[in-house]
Structure 1
Amino acid sequence: MDFDDILLELGEMGAYQIKIYLLICLPIIFSAANSLTYVFVAGIPNYRCLIPNCEDASTAEYKADFLQMAIPNSIDNPSDKYVPTQCTRFELNGTFPNDTCVEQVFLRNLVEKCDKWVFDNERTVVNDFGITCLENEWKLSLAGGAHFLGILIGSAVFGFLADKFGRKLIFIFCIIFMSVTGVLQSISPNYPFFLILLFANAFGTAGVYPLAFILGVELVGRSKREITAIVLNYFYAVGEALVGLFAWVYQDWVPLQLTASGPCLVFLCYYWLIPESVRWLLAKNRKLKAKEIVIEAARFNQVDLSEMIMMSFETDQINPDVAPPQKVEKSPWIMIKYIFKSKKLVVRFIIIIIVWTVNAFVYYGLSINSVNISGNKYLNFSLVCLIEIPGYTLSWISMSKFGRKPTLVISFLLCGLTCAANIIPSGITWVEVTLFLIGKLSITSSFGVVYCHTAEMLPTVIRSGGVGTASTTARIGSTLAPFVPLIGKYVQVLPMILFAGVSILAGLLSLKLPETLGSKLPETIEEADNL
């Protein structure tokens, strides 16, 4: 008997499954928060050179009346506004006493670098570890790269461990590991230690979302699987948005990181609150434990299970899926061998790799770069995260009604066009923010399509390996995304040009992909070739 048949009696998504599913979703809020806290933890606050002639280091404030005569303007057009440069000041006329603060003291035609700074109210690792000036900003981008490298490695490691030791145990371990490393990160004594703990925190964070997704999908019947995936993304978007709001409130990276990580220790109680995946237990032939969970679910759902269902746990008649899946060789070399049997599949898989990489690169790049657009950076960041909710909803509705290919192509092209429209600043904040939000909505929509579309294009023999390879290459895009704001320091419009260009390229390449809505999943190379 198939486990989905048991769910038809038990309820595909009864009260018990809803209760467990909501419990599973709660850590996703913290997982999402930990995945993006580094945007503010390693953010660049406003700072300027200390002017010893005019102020004391212990009482100095970022804004002061004497700045325009002591520090050059960082704005190219001085008629617009004055923003002091971060790392230079005018040289001093040595004929005046050291405590003299008048315009004649400063030689406005000579500029020197400084080694002491005055920061605005915001505190990040820049303040604590002295990561100041353009020549050191690579360290901040490296922090983002280390984060996504941790995500990349953690995703692979915990996926394997969850298959071997169970979804529940590894899920709880990832949450606690994420919590402990996040808390330790907030007390890092120096930059190298911080970088190691940032990587470790991301490594743990990497396992939380995928395992919550698996637990949720394996908990419900066939007709409810899509909704579990969509709602999980809603919780993730809320968790991301809360990072911006808490960063706004705290203006300090330490309490921000503690808020994102510390409370997760409470999820240790999940060892007693949530069950192991019944499908995994059945796959491991642990039928008595699976039976206990099903009986508890039936009691909570107020359902009486038939004798046939109960007897199936005592026999070999039950399988976690419709039929035991064929053992498929997942070696990359075997997968490559199968793909190279068809020129069409080779071209298709190259396009899939590009599409996934661009998706991750632009998706995370826009989130990271949202703090650099006009307006309140905290509010912008939160809005850019919350726009993912209608983005995922739109993709869910659109790909079911209009097809996978049109949804993917239009999403990429719309993202590219809105990013291109933002290349030349309009000077109107709401216009720039709106275009940015449409771009993020569009790339989120495309992200909602690629998983399903990729699986439907590849034959059974390489489907699992193909999706896994595409997902891994996507992490390369996300690892590169934190370095994009750095190039914006040299050419301000370059990040948006880059996002626009690769999005439009991916949209045009997606025109070469087949439509798969309503198509039978291809079993062989020939069937995939004929799509």
Structure 2
Amino acid sequence: MVVVNKLSDMVLNDISRNNTAKTIENNDESAIRSNIESVSGNSNRNDGLNANEEEEMDFDDLLPLAGEFGRYQLFLFALTLPFYSYAALVYFVQLFMTEVPSGHWCWIPELANLTEIERRTLAIPPEDNGITGYSRCSSYVANWTQVLSTGIKPDKNWEISPCRHGWEFNRTEIPYPTAGTDFEWVCEKDSYQATAQAIFFAGSVLGGFIIGWIADRFGRLPGAVISCLIGAIGGVISIFTRNFGEFAASRFFMGMSYDNCMMMMYIIVLEYVAPKYRTMMANLSFALFFTLGACSLPWIALICANWKILSLTISIYLALALFAPLVVPESPKWLLSKGRVEDAIKKLLSICRINKKEISPKTIEKFRASAFKAINKQEKVNGLEILKRPLVRKVFLLVCLEYVCCCIIFDALVRSVGQLGVNIFVSFTAISFTEFPSLVIVAFIMDWMGRRWMSSVFLSICCLFSFLTAFVSTGLPSVLCAVLARFSVNIAYNATIQWAAEMLPTGVRAFGVSAVHICGYIATLISPYIVYLNNVVPWLPLVIVACVAIVGGVTALILPETAKRDLPQTFDDAEELIKNQSFWEIPCINKKKERKHVEGYYNENFEN
């Protein structure tokens, strides 16, 4: 099914595989040693392979022999930098292209020779209950030539009318023209910014299907390149737009590249890394390079000093993906799925050459036979089977809800940064930097604390600080609360991404993970309008975010714990995983029981 696209392969450790790979993906060190034992065998000198002809071998089994994490993998790690930064830039750039300063007021041509403060004091009615203390959408009606010549002071009894000649903006907030200021998306048009962002996310939904189909049909690398080129074209088109409709259409195209530009490279690189290093590779590369892209963006925007130049700069950077085929290899799993076994073997031998390792011809021949056998055994599974099993259906819908909550919270907090009463460029950088420590923490404590309680606890913390952000004074207090809220949801968000893949049986895991992520994309259509409610009631958006966090925290406790558990291979396994749970099951507390389970598994595999 072509719907099962880039997200369908996103399963963090390529977990639709045999039991050996399954236990490896659960990071059980004894299982890793057991796998190496079966591949390298103490009694065989032919690259340590067991001589049993019935034993099957896949690409992951050969990676330890080709170099688990050598120079080749470090080179691929470096290659993730542009693609992970692409994702950050594509996702966040529209904020700096369309943001409108909160300080804006009617432009009065007759008062052009006065200073900004003099014009505003003379022509703009005060508004005690407003955000700025003055009206942003109306001005006094007067004969301004006469007012200037006679020195008459403004009178609250003067006639008031909506702005007739456009607006002027406080350039100390955002010191360059944005699409929002050029097209005057204020007052009755103040929802346009949110609508343009929602249309961007609508493009990401369609892009998931189209780029996924390209990646399945022509390869992961063409999918990554085409995704980046679509984004580059959308960015260039943005420069020539003249109204909201044209701008929104260009952002729809940019949205089609969102996430796809990163995920294809993510999949390729992880497939060339031995299973026990994949969690580190996934979290560390994302923590470093996505954070770098996000934290650099505000300062790139300031250097460009114009939204059109900013859009062009990002587009040129995206277009550099054209050179990726010169240095980035194709996905070995995709090659094998298409029957291109010899091409996959060439990739493997390239790893050996660069890592200075050797694999014997007998090992290669055994892998070749296993690969062709696996191709002949491939079967198509109907993903809709998820909905026919009551227990699995319940868990699937709940994990969709959990991911939706995380997506709404994450995006709403990102777009609320302009409401904190602090320089948007500084506050955005500070809040974006939380990606780095949160991902590092996830890598170290997720298995120790478990998915359920970690997600619930950190979403509860997010709820608390989101609520406080809405009511504490603007400035440093609100920024600190926003940083802690964003830090907390980052942890829950990244845990849920992996969690979703661990609950579903192998045959439908790809389809299920795809559906979960598409639900998240659809949910982000709502978040810009939540933030827009700031124009109605200033504290309302963050209170809604806090409520969504509570829903997510409660939902997390209903879901089954998957830490240090075998991935379900069948629907029966999945149902057993769901039923064999207690509410107070916490991996760090149940460590003794877990150790007994692991030790038993270890002894069985190493028994001679």
Global fold match (TM > 0.5): yes
Q: Is the 8 A contact 1:183 1:261 kept in 2?
A: yes
- For 1:48, the equivalent position in structure 2 comes to 105
1:476 and 1:367 map into 2 onto residues whose CA distance is: 17
- Residue 162 of structure 1, CA deviation: 0.9
CA distance in 1, matches of 2:344, 2:570: 34
Does residue 70 of structure 2 align to residue 14 of structure 1? Answer: yes
Q: Deviations over 1:420-445 (max 9, x none)?
A: 12221235x22211111111011110
Counterparts of 2:146 and 2:480, CA distance in 1:
53
Correspondence for 2:20? none
State the alpha-carbon separation in 1 of the partners of residues 375 and 463 from structure 2: 42
| Displacement after TM superposition at 1:105 (Å) | 6.0
Aligned twin of 1:457:
503
Name the CA distance, whole Å, in 2 between partners of 1:324 and 1:435. Answer: 54
The Cα shift of 1:456 comes to: 2.2
1:153-191 Cα distance to aligned partner (Å, 9 max, x none)? 112221232122111111112122222221221232332
Kindly state the Cα deviation for residue 72 of structure 1 after the two structures are TM-superposed: 2.1
Cα 1:309–1:182 change in 2 (3 A) is farther
User: Relative to structure 1, is the Cα distance of residues 265 and 226 closer, same or farther in structure 2, using a 3 angstrom cutoff?
Assistant: same
Cα distance in structure 2, aligned partners of 1:153 and 1:293: 32
1:72 is aligned to 125
Which residue in 2 is equivalent to 1:253?
307
* 2:357 alignment partner in structure 1: 303
Letter in 2 for 1:247: A
Of 468, 476, 479, the match for 2:525? 479
What is the 5 A alignment of 1:354-365? 354-365=401-412
Q: CA deviation at 1:86?
A: 2.2
Residue 209 (1) aligns with residue 259 (2): no
Q: 1:282 to 1:480 in 2, by over 3 A?
A: same
Q: What's the C-alpha RMSD, in Å, of the aligned pairs?
A: 2.5
* Cα displacement string for residues 132-171 of structure 1 (whole angstroms, at most 9, x for unaligned residues): 32x1122111100011111111122212321221111111
Alignment correspondent of 1:291: 345
* Equivalent of residue 185 in structure 1, options 238, 249, 253: 238
Does the 8 Å CA contact 2:203/2:252 hold for their aligned counterparts?
Answer: yes
* Structure-1 separation of matches of 2:70 and 2:523: 39
The corresponding residue for 2:91 is 35
Per-residue CA deviation, residues 437-458 of structure 1 (Å, 9 max, x unaligned), is 1110111101111122222223
* Cα distance change, pair 321–364 in 1 and its aligned pair in 2 (3 A): farther
Structure-2 residue corresponding to 1:492: 538
> Is contact 1:417–1:504 with CA below 8 Å preserved after alignment?
no
State whether structure 2 residue 423 is matched by structure 1 residue 376.
Answer: yes
Output aligned runs, 1:168-183, within 5 Å.
Answer: 168-183=221-236
1:87 to 137, 161, 169: 137
1:224 aligned residue (258, 268, 277): 277
* 1:508 is the counterpart of 2:554: yes
Judge which range, 150-159 or 249-258, deviates more: 249-258
Aligned residue in 2 for 1:395: 442
Could you tell which deviates more after superposition, 233-242 or 215-224? 233-242
> What's the offset of the Cα at 1:200?
0.5
Q: Deviations over 1:86-124 (max 9, x none)?
A: 221122158x63754734465555321112222334311
Check whether the contact 2:214–2:222 (CA below 8 A) recurs between aligned residues.
no
Distance 1:317 1:513, change over 3 A: closer
SS at 1:479 equivalent:
coil
User: Retained in 1: the 8 A contact 2:295–2:429?
Assistant: yes
Unaligned runs of 5+ in 1: none
Q: TM-score, normalised by structure 2?
A: 0.79
2:183 aligns to what? 129
Deviation at 1:371, TM superposition (A): 1.7
CA distance in 1, matches of 2:467, 2:375: 48
Task: Measure, in 2, the Cα distance between the counterparts of 1:301 and 1:348.
Answer: 43
Please give the per-residue CA displacement for 1:240-278, whole angstroms capped at 9, x wherever unaligned.
222222224444211221222212222212122211112
Comparing 178-187 and 5-14, the one that deviates more: 178-187
With over 3 angstroms needed to count, the CA separation of the structure-2 counterparts of 1:293 and 1:522, relative to structure 1, is closer
Aligned length: 514
**Matching residue within 378, 387, 397 for 1:336:** 387
Question: Who is 1:114 aligned against?
Answer: 163
Displacement of 1:4: 1.4
Task: Please tell me the residue identity of whatever aligns with 1:418.
Answer: F
SS at match of 2:568: coil
1:386 to 397, 421, 433: 433
d(CA) in 2 for partners of 1:512, 1:286 = 43
Deviations 1:462-498 (A, max 9, x none): 3332222221111122111111221110000001100
Q: Percent identity?
A: 23
Structure 2: tracts of 5 or more residues without a match:
1-56, 581-608
CA contact (8 A) 2:105 2:120 kept: no
* Residues in 1 aligned to 2:559 and 2:299: alpha-carbon distance in whole angstroms: 40
TM-score, L = length of structure 1: 0.90
Counterpart-to-counterpart distance in 1, 2:425 and 2:296: 10
User: Which residue of 193, 197, 206 maps to 1:140?
Assistant: 193
Whether the aligned pair in 2 keeps the contact of 1:2 and 1:322 (CA below 8 Å) is: no
Is 1:270 matched up with 2:320? no
Q: Which amino acid aligns with 1:175?
A: C
Q: For the Cα contact (< 8 Å) 2:469–2:479, is it kept in 1?
A: no
Q: In structure 2, do the counterparts of structure 1 residues 287 and 122 end up closer, same or farther at CA, with 3 Å as the change threshold? A: same
Counterpart Cα distance in 2 of 1:245 and 1:479 = 27
SS of structure 1 residue aligned to 2:118: coil
Task: Kindly provide the amino acid, as one letter, of the partner of residue 563 in structure 2.
Answer: L
Task: Please give the alpha-carbon distance, in whole angstroms, between the structure 2 residues aligned to 1:148 and 1:384.
Answer: 22
After superposition, the Cα gap between the structure-2 partners of 1:320 and 1:173, relative to the gap in structure 1 and judged at 3 Å, is farther
AA partner of residue 26 (structure 1): P
Q: Provide the C-alpha distance between the structure 2 equivalents of 1:75 and 1:186, rounded to a whole number of angstroms.
A: 38
Provide the C-alpha distance between the structure 1 equivalents of 2:74 and 2:460, rounded to a whole number of angstroms. Answer: 37
C-alpha distance in 2, partners of 1:183/1:52?
33
User: 2:211: which partner in 1?
Assistant: 158
CA contact (8 A) 1:16 1:301 kept: yes
Tell me how far apart the structure 2 counterparts of residues 351 and 277 of structure 1 sit (CA, whole Å). 32
